[in-house]
Structure formats: structure tokens, C-alpha cells
Structure 1
Amino acid sequence: MTPRKTAFGLLGLVVLMVGMSFAAVPLYDLFCRVTGYGGTTAEGAGSERVLEQTISVRFDASKSRDMAWEFTAPDVRVMDLPIGQTGLAFYEAHNPTDRVIAGQASYNVTPYSAGGYFTKIDCFCFTEQVLQPGQTVQMPVTFYVDPEILTDSEAKFVQEITLSYTFYEIDIPVDEVSLAPAQPADEEG
């Protein structure tokens, strides 16, 4: 093999590896949503059937170390509801600072085997949240546990599911920047 062919082969390999690294995140996300792997939840409409058997849903709230908001789980920390019935819970966020802060919530469901059966119909985590200084908001999540959970060899033994959210700060979205009050400039003097 000539040095030129070797160089082109190595260059092609580098291009392939860079391309695969960019494709890895969306492909992994798709894999998790389809399989429920890693506690990833499904999204959809309400369940068509409601069972008599109940399951407990526990709510958890946390924030990244750098997030200045106060973020709390619903007042009712555990909800017992029939499998297939739609539930509604409200998390609360408060911005105690004097600046506009944008945040995004990441979520997880444990045990992981239940992740594919925990379906969020609507959730604050689907969009970025922007809070003005001193603003407090109630953020709803509407969900149900799919009755198909009882057909899964591992998930059918789950008695309690924990829905956890972690908020982290993000850049203020471009469409929100114009709505944010101007930040005072640092004055020298």
C-alpha cells in the first residue's frame, strides 16, 4: 500500500469516527426511548384501559450545583394510582435571584425496567423554562403507567416507580432574550 493510500484511508477513518461521534447521542436517545433502557420514559396520549391494580409513583427533585433556582417536588411525594390511570403532579421552581435564569430539566425513572412503561403525556421537561427575578411557577407533569408493564418479565414485579427531575441552568433562549430585562453594565470608577 502506498503512503498516499494509507493517508487517505486514515483520513477516511477519522472522518467516519467523527461522524459516528455526532450520531451517537441521537441514536442512543432513540434506542432508550424505544426500549425504555436507562429509565427513559415514553411519550404519548392517555391509556385506553385502567386496571384495578395500583402502583406507587414517588416524586424527586434536585438541581445541578450551579443552578440558582429553588426546585421542589410536589407536596404529595407519593401518589398511588391504578395502572393505566392518568396522574397529575406539580413541581415548583422559584428564582430567588435578581437576574433572569433559564433552565432545562432532565429526568429519569427508576427502576429502569419500568422506564418504558412510564408514559409522560405532558411535561415541563419537554421545553426550556425561563424564570424572571423573584418568579415562582408551578410546573405540571401528566403521566400514566402503561398496563403492558404487567406483561414484562422484570417490570411486572415493580410496586413503586420514582420519577426524578434535575434542573440545570442553560443559556437564555434567543426568543426570550428580547423579553429579559437589560442587565446593568459594570461601571468602572
Structure 2
Amino acid sequence: MNGEELRQANKRLALKLGAGAVVALAFGFALVPLYNVLCEATGLNGKTNAERARPAAVKVDKSRWVTVQFTGTVMPGLSWAFYPKVASMRVHPGEITRVSYYAKNPTNQTIVGQAVPSITPGQAAQHFVKLDCFCFKQQALEPGAEKEMGLTFIISPELSKEVGTVTLSYAFFPAVKGS
């Protein structure tokens, strides 16, 4: 192989490697929306598609109760106090229910956070319909500010009768700048 052929081979290799890097970068950016679609379709990680899961006319099943437990965790990098106002409650499937979480920013700077829900057991995620939730958007708290954040939900009557307890956990993360 002479010098010109070697240069051409190196040029082709560099182009292939560059194209591979661009494809890998694009795939990395595509993973987040793909993951969200997968989670909404399967209920994985407690994500639900409220429009798909919301029944057109929900009948309240007064014949049974489901206990809903609420938890809240603040992840590293977010200095907030964050917890549910009630630890648990009993609801009839199909009943519209509202609960609140409390958050306080004890620091001397404005902090923006994003709540990420998780529902267990996993089979309950597709039956837990959040009609309104503070987790739908980022929350900003000024220095020393306190905030009560609401959640309105329905547990679908189609939830298996074997499931008597559902746990809704929120992990509050610092919001990524620019998102």
C-alpha cells in the first residue's frame, strides 16, 4: 500500500468513526424520550399515561378499599424539606382524591426541583391516574419559602382486587439547568 492509498484508507476510517460518533450521540439523546414512552406504555418506574388510563366515566367501587401510602425523598443536591402531609389513606377505587405534599427551601438561594414518581406494586402503576400533580412541572422555591403542593388522583376500579395497598413515592431532584 503506497502513501496515497494509506491516506485514503485513513480518511475513510476517520469518516466512519466520525459518523459512528454522531450516531452514538444522537442515540444517547433519543434514549430519554424512548425511555419515557416505554415507561408510560408499561407503567415501569411508576409512570402512567393519564390520558390513556383515564376512564371516560368512572364508577366508584364502594365495595372495597385500597390503602395508598405516600412517601417523599429529597435527593442529594437539593436541600429542601419535603414530605407528604398524610402518610396514608384509604380510598375507594374510582374516587377522586386529593392530597398534599409540603416543601420548604431553608437555604438563602432560589432552588428549582423536579419530582419523579414511582408506584409500587408495578401492576398498580397503570391504574393510578394522576389528574393533577406538582410532578408535572418543575417547582421553584425562593429562599426560606414554604409550599404546599397538591396531587389529585384516581385509582381505577380495574385494579386487581388482590392489590390492597399502593405506595406512591416521590423523589425530588435538583432541576437540570436549561431543561
TM-score range, shorter chain: 0.7 to 0.9
Question: Partner of 1:72 in structure 2?
Answer: 83
How many angstroms does 1:121 deviate by? 0.3
Q: What amino acid is aligned across from residue 174 of structure 2 in structure 1? A: E
Q: Within 2, Cα distance between the matches of 1:11 and 1:149?
A: 50
Q: Within 1, Cα distance between the matches of 2:176 and 2:109?
A: 13
Q: Within 2, Cα distance between the matches of 1:135 and 1:173?
A: 23
1:29 and 2:40 correspond: no
How many angstroms does 1:171 deviate by? 5.8
Contact 1:33–1:42 (8 Å) recurs in 2: yes
Contact 1:130–1:172 (8 Å) recurs in 2: no
1:114 and 2:131 correspond: no
Deviation beyond 6 Å, 4+ runs, structure 1: none
How many angstroms does 1:62 deviate by? 0.9
TM-score computed with the length of structure 2 as normaliser? 0.82
Q: What amino acid is aligned across from residue 157 of structure 1 in structure 2? A: E
Q: Against the structure 1 CA distance between its residues 173 and 23, is the aligned structure 2 distance closer, same or farther, given a 3 Å change threshold? A: closer
Q: Within 1, Cα distance between the matches of 2:119 and 2:73?
A: 14
Contact 1:117–1:146 (8 Å) recurs in 2: yes
Q: Percent identity?
A: 34
1:163 and 2:172 correspond: no
Q: What amino acid is aligned across from residue 91 of structure 1 in structure 2? A: Y
How many angstroms does 1:21 deviate by? 1.7
TM-score computed with the length of structure 1 as normaliser? 0.78
Q: Which has the larger Rg?
A: 2
Contact 1:39–1:112 (8 Å) recurs in 2: yes
Q: Within 2, Cα distance between the matches of 1:161 and 1:48?
A: 19
Q: Within 1, Cα distance between the matches of 2:177 and 2:110?
A: 8
Match of 1:134, SS? coil
Q: What amino acid is aligned across from residue 59 of structure 1 in structure 2? A: F
Contact 1:101–1:172 (8 Å) recurs in 2: no
Match of 1:18, SS? helix
1:137-171 C-alpha deviation (Å, 9 max, x unpaired): 11000011112223xxxxx5221111111112236
Q: Within 2, Cα distance between the matches of 1:22 and 1:172?
A: 16
Q: What amino acid is aligned across from residue 21 of structure 2 in structure 1? A: V
How many matched pairs?
Answer: 167
1:136 and 2:141 correspond: no
Question: Partner of 2:3 in structure 1?
Answer: none
Question: 71, 80, 86: which is aligned to 2:96?
Answer: 86
Question: 13, 24, 38: which is aligned to 1:17?
Answer: 24
